[in-house]
Amino acid sequence: MTSGDGAQGSIDRIDRGAGVIGVFDQERAEAAVHELLIAIGEDPEREGLKRTPHRVANAYREMFAGLYTEPDEVLATVFDEGHDELVLVKDIPMYSTCEHHLVSFRGVAHVGYIPGESGQVTGLSKLARVVDLYAKRPQVQERLTSQVADAIVRRLDPRGVIVVIEAEHLCMAMRGIRKPGATTTTSAVRGLFKTSAVSRGEALELITR
C-alpha cells in the first residue's frame, strides 16, 4: 500500500478482484535481514551495514515483484492480424532467483507461438514482460519455463507454443560444485510444437541460428 505522500508503506497488498495475490511486509523483511547479519557474525549497527536491511528489503521487493502481479493479465491485449505463422522473440534477457539458495540465475529466454484460428497476436513486448514477471519469483528454471508456456496457452489459445530458457545458476558457480560458465537449457512445448517434429525442428533451428 502507498501512503498519501507517495512513499511505500510497510506492507504491500496487491489485489486481483476480491483476492490478495501477494503480500510484501517491508518491516518484517528488514528485521529478518538484521537478524541474518547477526547470525553470520556481523554487526548490523556498524557504518557500512546500518542501511543494509532497508536496502535488501527494497531489492527483494523489486526482485520478487512477480508475486504481486498476475502475469497472465499482461497478455490480455490482442490484435486481429490474421497471422497464422510462427511468432518468435529470441534472446530475452532474464534474471531470476533460485528458490533453494536465494541466489540469482540469469540468461536468455526464447518464446514462440503459432496463433490460433482467430489469427490474434499479442504485442511482442508482452512476451518479454510475461517472462520477466514469472522470473521475478523464487523459482526453479524448469517451472519458470513451463509457466511462461502455459500462460500463453491460457490467454492466446494458440496452435502451438515453444519456450526455451538458457541460464547460468550462481548457486552452481559460486558455491557447491563451483562450475562458473556452466549453463542449463530447459524447454516447454505445447500444441503443434509437441505433436509435430517438423514444426518443433523449424522453431529450434530459428532459435539456435
Q: Give the count of beta carbons closer than 10 Å to the beta carbon of residue 66.
A: 22
Whether the predicted pLDDT of 28 surpasses 70: yes
pLDDT at 39: 99
As a whole number of angstroms, the distance between CA 28 and CA 2 comes to 17
Among residues 138, 130, 133, the alpha carbon closest in space to that of 163 is found at 130
Whether the predicted pLDDT of 84 surpasses 70: yes
Place 86 in a pLDDT band, splitting at 50, 70 and 90: very high
pLDDT in tens, 91-120: 999 999 999 999 999 999 999 999 999 899
pLDDT in tens, 135-189: 999 999 999 999 999 999 999 999 999 999 999 999 998 988 888 999 999 999 9
pLDDT at 91: 98
Place 13 in a pLDDT band, splitting at 50, 70 and 90: low
pLDDT in tens, 47-81: 999 999 999 999 999 999 999 988 888 999 899 99
Q: Is 34 annotated as a binding-site member?
A: no
Whether the predicted pLDDT of 2 surpasses 50: no
Q: Whose grid coordinates read 551495514? A: 49
pLDDT at 20: 41
Q: Which residues are catalytic?
A: 98-101, 141, 169, 171
pLDDT at 11: 55
19 three-class SS: strand
Q: Is 101 annotated as a binding-site member?
A: yes
Taking the CA atoms of 188, 192, 195 and 196 in sequence, report the sign of the dihedral they define. Answer: negative
115 three-class SS: coil
Whether the predicted pLDDT of 26 surpasses 50: yes
Whether the predicted pLDDT of 21 surpasses 90: no
pLDDT at 19: 38
pTM for this model (two decimals): 0.88
